């Protein structure tokens, strides 16, 4: 930390090499984050962030918070680029204005008020909210633009908050009344599973789902899936997923999926919402809401921590592309990390139903013995038939997952052994 403070002082005095050294540890994460958020505009935005951080470095009040200051600047520049695309739908409230929003981004204040129920707001409330939170105007600036007093602006924002709070409470009460009507389609114990190599089969997969949540990304689609844990492979969690419509996150269009969770005999309705963008080449999460004591907590793709937890682009097209050298079915070595992670073709039988599938590995989080690995078997229809989660032996060592899974199958990738933890199947395999 002392060394970083010294570099800051030297950079403020005009030492460009000190600035390069100061920025260097953050460049890789910063670039990856911007690429996730902005795609083709990432490099231009990165250059603007570097220029701005150099020129504004003297304004940094607390050298101990340089990283937070740098990423906040990157977030602001990203918003500028997103606005310049002019893809914001003017009659929608941005997602990050949901009632009770708690930002994970350092130095971003908690934003209270408002939500996606924009139909309940008056025209004046919508306009005021838009100016306050999307355009980030001050109360005085909004009053000047709308030709009203600052008191009127404050009352309008207060009324909007109150209206949304009322609607949120009513919504949760309706959901609770419906909790007894949920049915579970998936069996209590995992059906028998058989996986055998296919011969003479070859196809590309066009993934249609939210990865890896089994939900087809089209408005109105519903599905149910479950987690089965070792050693008895009993069902521990059930999830109902429903794509309820379109949303806008920082000007980027997405599909909104409601998530209900069942655990230990209790349904937790509307426990989460996912906002997923179905692009031509990739599928990616733009925001995730988790409800805690009925208050939504939101992470969006412009929050630094979002990239670490959710910031992973999943390809639309999966195929057997030569990414891996297959020593045998349980031992793989990466030959070309730039290629798509198809492994081979298999006949997967779950219970009485069989599916020809492409076996794929999602290796985004394979960071050694503390990493995780997803193995999925995807049908020619672009649906996930079976998902298997693997962990390195060093993943969360203080928990007892490894004891439960110690007799499970193991998969070696690039010399690191991953242990099969749990299985997931959906109602797609039953219909």
The per-residue pLDDT for 2 is 63
pLDDT band at 36 (very low <50, low <70, confident <90, very high): confident
3-state SS, residue 392: strand
Q: What is the mean pLDDT of the chain?
A: 83
Above pLDDT 70, what percent of the chain?
85
Rounded CA separation 95/216 (Å): 22
Bigger pLDDT: 180 or 222? 222
pLDDT band at 61 (very low <50, low <70, confident <90, very high): confident
The per-residue pLDDT for 79 is 80
The strand ranges marked E within 307-414 are 314-315, 317-318, 324-328, 331-334, 342-350, 353-362, 372-379, 384-392, 410-413
pLDDT band at 171 (very low <50, low <70, confident <90, very high): low
The per-residue pLDDT for 93 is 38
Contact 378, 385 (CB under 8 A): yes
Q: What angle, 0 to 180 degrees and rounded to 10, lies between the N-to-C axes of helices 2-12 and 16-38?
A: 100
Distance of CA 83 to the CA centre of its chain: 21
- Dump pLDDT digits (tens) for 79-117: 888 777 654 433 333 433 333 333 333 333 333 333 344
CA distances from 318 to 143, 201, 280, 344 (A): 53, 15, 13, 11
The per-residue pLDDT for 173 is 53
Q: Does position 368 have pLDDT exceeding 70, yes or no?
A: yes
- Dump pLDDT digits (tens) for 176-197: 544 445 689 999 999 999 999 9
Structure tokens at 411: 């998969």
Above pLDDT 90, what percent of the chain?
42
Rounded CA separation 132/142 (Å): 7
Distance of CA 399 to the CA centre of its chain: 24
Residue 231 DSSP label:
T
Which residues is 242 bridged to in the sheet? 222, 258
Rounded CA separation 228/423 (Å): 5
pLDDT band at 165 (very low <50, low <70, confident <90, very high): low
pLDDT band at 170 (very low <50, low <70, confident <90, very high): low
Bigger pLDDT: 285 or 114? 285
Contact 223, 216 (CB under 8 A): yes
pLDDT band at 334 (very low <50, low <70, confident <90, very high): very high
Q: Point out the least confidently predicted range of 56-65, 224-233, 294-303, 322-331.
A: 294-303
Q: Point out the least confidently predicted range of 51-65, 130-144, 387-401.
A: 130-144
């Amino acid at each position: 930390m002392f060394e970083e403070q010294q570099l800051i002082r030297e950079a403020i005095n005009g030492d460009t090499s000190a600035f390069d050294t100061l920025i260097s540890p953050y460049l890789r994460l910063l670039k990856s984050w911007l690429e996730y958020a902005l795609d083709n505009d990432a490099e231009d935005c990165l250059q603007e962030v570097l220029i701005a951080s150099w020129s504004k470095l003297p304004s940094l009040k607390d050298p101990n918070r340089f990283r937070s200051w740098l990423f906040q600047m990157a977030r602001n520049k990203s918003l500028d680029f997103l606005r310049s695309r002019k893809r914001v739908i003017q009659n929608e409230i941005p997602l990050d204005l949901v009632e009770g929003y708690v930002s994970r981004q350092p130095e971003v204040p908690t934003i209270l008020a408002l939500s996606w129920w924009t139909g309940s707001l008056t025209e004046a409330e919508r306009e005021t909210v838009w100016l306050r939170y999307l355009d980030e105007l001050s109360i005085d600036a909004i009053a000047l633009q709308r030709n009203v007093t600052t008191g009127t602006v404050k009352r309008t924002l207060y009324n909007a908050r109150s209206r949304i709070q009322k609607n949120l409470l009513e919504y949760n009460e309706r959901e609770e009344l419906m909790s007894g009507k949920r049915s579970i389609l998936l069996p209590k114990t995992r059906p028998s599973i058989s996986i055998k190599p296919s011969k003479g089969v070859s196809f590309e997969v066009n993934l249609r789902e939210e990865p890896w949540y089994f939900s087809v990304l089209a408005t109105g689609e519903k599905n149910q899936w479950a987690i089965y844990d070792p050693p008895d492979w009993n069902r521990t969690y059930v999830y109902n997923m429903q794509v309820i419509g379109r949303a806008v996150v920082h000007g980027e269009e997405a599909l909104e999926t409601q998530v209900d969770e069942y655990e230990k005999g209790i349904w937790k309705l509307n426990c989460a919402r996912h906002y997923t963008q179905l692009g031509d080449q990739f599928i990616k999460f733009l925001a995730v809401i988790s409800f805690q004591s009925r208050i939504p907590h939101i992470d969006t793709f412009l929050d630094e921590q979002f990239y670490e937890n959710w910031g992973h682009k999943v390809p639309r097209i999966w195929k057997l592309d030569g990414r891996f050298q297959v020593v045998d079915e349980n031992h793989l070595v990466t030959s070309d990390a730039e290629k798509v992670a198809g492994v081979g073709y298999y006949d997967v039988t779950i219970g009485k139903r069989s599916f020809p599938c492409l076996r794929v590995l999602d290796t985004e989080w394979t960071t050694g013995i503390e990493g995780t690995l997803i193995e999925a078997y995807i049908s020619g229809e672009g649906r996930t038939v079976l998902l298997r989660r693997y962990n390195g032996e060093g993943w969360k060592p203080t928990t007892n997952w490894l004891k439960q899974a110690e007799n499970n199958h193991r998969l070696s990738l690039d010399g690191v052994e991953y242990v099969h933890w749990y299985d997931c199947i959906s109602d797609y395999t039953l219909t």
